Structure 1
């Protein structure tokens, strides 16, 4: 069963403790890292990898793909949904 984008956004908010943020504040294709998007940093990226492994049972084994996978909430969710099949 595929994970819905709003459910995934809520998981990001809760897990990363993004206070004062709602799912409406996270645009599907906005960058997760840097000032233009959510503003996540390297510590958040480690936390995010752990959340993905724990919550969804998905490991990201090829670090060369990180930049693409973690470029936006929709890319990350697409990777998770495709890896869970």
Structure 2
């Protein structure tokens, strides 16, 4: 498993208080919202804070947020692209 994705999953677990989960239990391509992890709108705000605090990335466009937060894969790709600019 990709080291960055493991780190990202650990950050998600900590930021969203998912103490009963391990990074291995979060599938890279599983939806973060709905049927996957079951996150909600409050969790989305926590993810936005995580991006700003840990990666200095600001998400202003709600439509883009939906696509970015689709899965761990999409979130990792977005962070990698933003940091490469």
Tell me whether the two structures share a fold, i.e. TM-score over 0.5.
Answer: yes
- Name 1:15's counterpart in structure 2: 15
Normalised by the size of structure 2, how large is the TM-score?
A: 0.89
Runs of 4 or more, structure 1, over 4 Å off, are none
| Structure with higher helix content | 2
The structural deviation recorded for 1:32 is 0.3
- Does residue 69 (structure 1) correspond to residue 63 (structure 2)? The answer is no
Find the residue that maps to 1:38 and give its secondary structure.
coil
Q: TM-score scaled to structure 1, two decimals?
A: 0.89
Q: Distance in 1 between matches of 2:51 and 2:66?
A: 16
Question: Which consecutive unaligned segments of at least 5 residues does structure 1 have?
Answer: none
* Distance of 1:64 and 1:14 partners within structure 2: 25
Q: Number of aligned residue pairs: give it.
A: 82
Q: Say if 2:81 is the partner of 1:60.
A: no
Q: CA deviation at 1:5?
A: 0.5
Q: Which runs of 5+ in 2 are unaligned?
A: none
* In structure 2, C-alpha distance between the alignment counterparts of 1:68 and 1:15, rounded to whole Å: 20
1:26 corresponds to: 26
Q: Distance in 1 between matches of 2:78 and 2:66?
A: 12
1:38 Cα deviation after fit: 0.6
